[in-house]
Chains A and B, each alone.
Chain A
Amino acid sequence: MTTHSAQLFSISTGSSEPIYRQLVEQVRRLVAAGQMSPGDGMPSVRDVAQALTLNPMTVSKAYSLLEMEGLLTRKRGMGMSVAERPTTGHSAAERAELLRPTLERAALEARQLELDPDTVLSLFTQILKEQA
């Protein structure tokens, strides 16, 4: 079990993605990719705020959202850590909703590329099967 450092995160300003969302997505990706394992300690809100020069409220907003999603758990006196069994207890519809921002961006790019929905959907289906 490791405690991750605040250097783990990076954010970009001037994005259409609010900063707290960028942090949320980074944790989701790192957990999904196995770079963060269940039980790993998260850097404190204060450390992240200082390392990235952010308002601490923005960092706690991201952590709270991740806690609600079940990806992080708060341990008394120990700060946040990666949950043992992430995303249990959430309906498929709730979990699907998490995918919406990513899909919205993909949809935008698909339109810019003038791809019709059928082509995009069959590509997406193919990608889903590859991963499985």
Chain B
Amino acid sequence: MNVPVIQVASISKRFGAAAVLNGLDWQVTPGQVIGLLGRNGAGKSTLLECLLGLREVDAGAVTIYGEDVNALSDATRARIGYVPQKSDLFEWLTPRQMLDYVRALYPRWNDAKVDGLLARWGFSQAMQARPISKLSGGEQQRLSIIRALGPDPELLILDEPVSALDPVGRREFLRELIDGVVERGTTVVFSTHILSDLERVALDVAFLKDGRITLQGQIDELLEGARRVAGPGVMKTPSLEDLFIEVTQ
């Protein structure tokens, strides 16, 4: 259990003149539910894509379950679920066709979970017969989440999974994350700007700033540790939002 699920050793990534990741070290241990926070443009999506080997790094190395991310075995690949920020879902297929196609790529696929989620998340028969390109942004995002949960992944990486969802959709997603994912001991890494959702689900947070993880810890401890006397007569009791502003500026 001591072997990290994800081990990031000093990775760098630049786009032209801009260094987005700059010698970043990071480690995610089994069963961690960790929120990745950072300002817009801090490089959260780039980091998540590098973790998954979807983007080549300029320097450094990423291993997932002990394997180099650029040479993952099929068995390890099958243990990973990913929800990209912009869903890329074979838009000409219908939801049902897409799921049947993806299903065939995995050694294990939880039909009951997928059918249950489709029903609970409002995918009527009529909707399942429509091309994905005709679905709304929120519907596409929900479908992308269902696709990622289908193989019962042991590691789930989500890039702003609720950005297109309304409050009801967000709550339904959180429920599923708690009942169906966290309870199974799944390791979860997700980026989000919705701190209230983060507090409910994540136990840990990591802040990305200037191309590195500048602060990581348990939310509870960060909140309690940040409680301090800031000067004569002034006591600061920051919320997670205050902490975000302080840490990322």
Q: Are B203 and A16 in contact (CB under 8 A)?
A: no
Report the separation of the CA atoms of residues A108 and B218 in the bound assembly, to the nearest whole angstrom: 25
Interface of A is mostly: helix
Report the separation of the CA atoms of residues A73 and B46 in the bound assembly, to the nearest whole angstrom: 48
Task: Return the chain B residue nearest A111 by Cβ.
Answer: B233
Q: Are B224 and A18 in contact (CB under 8 A)?
A: yes
Q: Are B33 and A55 in contact (CB under 8 A)?
A: yes
B2 within 8 A of A: no
Task: Pick from A34-42, A46-54, A74-82, A86-94 the stretch touching chain B.
Answer: A46-54
Residues of the A chain whose Cβ atoms lie less than 8 Å from the Cβ of B239: 14-16
Q: Are B200 and A55 in contact (CB under 8 A)?
A: yes
Residues of the A chain whose Cβ atoms lie less than 8 Å from the Cβ of B201: 54-55
A119 within 8 A of B: no
Residues of the B chain whose Cβ atoms lie less than 8 Å from the Cβ of A13: 195-196, 199-200
B242 to chain A, nearest CB (A): 7
Given A20, A55, A107, A111, which contacts B182 in the complex, CB threshold below 8 Å?
A55
A104 within 8 A of B: yes
Q: Are A14 and B196 in contact (CB under 8 A)?
A: yes
Residues of the B chain whose Cβ atoms lie less than 8 Å from the Cβ of A15: 239
Task: Please judge, given known A-B contacts A14-B196, A49-B178, whether A57 and B235 are in contact too, CB under 8 Å.
Answer: no
B241 within 8 A of A: yes
Residues of the B chain whose Cβ atoms lie less than 8 Å from the Cβ of A52: 200
A70 within 8 A of B: no
Report the separation of the CA atoms of residues A9 and B237 in the bound assembly, to the nearest whole angstrom: 23
A58 within 8 A of B: yes
Report the separation of the CA atoms of residues A16 and B222 in the bound assembly, to the nearest whole angstrom: 10
Task: Return the chain A residue nearest B243 by Cβ.
Answer: A16
Task: Please judge, given known A-B contacts A14-B195, A16-B227, A16-B239, whether A54 and B200 are in contact too, CB under 8 Å.
Answer: yes
Q: Are B234 and A111 in contact (CB under 8 A)?
A: yes
Residues of the A chain whose Cβ atoms lie less than 8 Å from the Cβ of B219: 18
Residues of the A chain whose Cβ atoms lie less than 8 Å from the Cβ of B234: 111
Given A16, A56, A107, which contacts B238 in the complex, CB threshold below 8 Å?
A16
B174 within 8 A of A: yes
B14 within 8 A of A: no
Q: Are A108 and B202 in contact (CB under 8 A)?
A: no
Report the separation of the CA atoms of residues A92 and B199 in the bound assembly, to the nearest whole angstrom: 33
B179 within 8 A of A: yes
In chain B, residues 176-234, which have Cβ atoms closer than 8 Å to a Cβ of chain A? 178-179, 182-183, 195-196, 199-203, 219-220, 223-224, 227, 233-234
Q: Are B178 and A56 in contact (CB under 8 A)?
A: yes
A105 within 8 A of B: yes
Among B200, B202, B227, the most chain A Cβ lie within 10 Å of the Cβ of B200
A-B contact pairs, 25 of them (CB 8 A): A13-B200, A14-B195, A14-B241, A16-B239, A18-B223, A19-B200, A21-B224, A50-B175, A50-B178, A53-B178, A54-B201, A55-B33, A55-B182, A55-B201, A55-B202, A56-B183, A58-B203, A61-B220, A104-B227, A104-B235, A104-B237, A108-B235, A108-B237, A111-B234, A111-B235
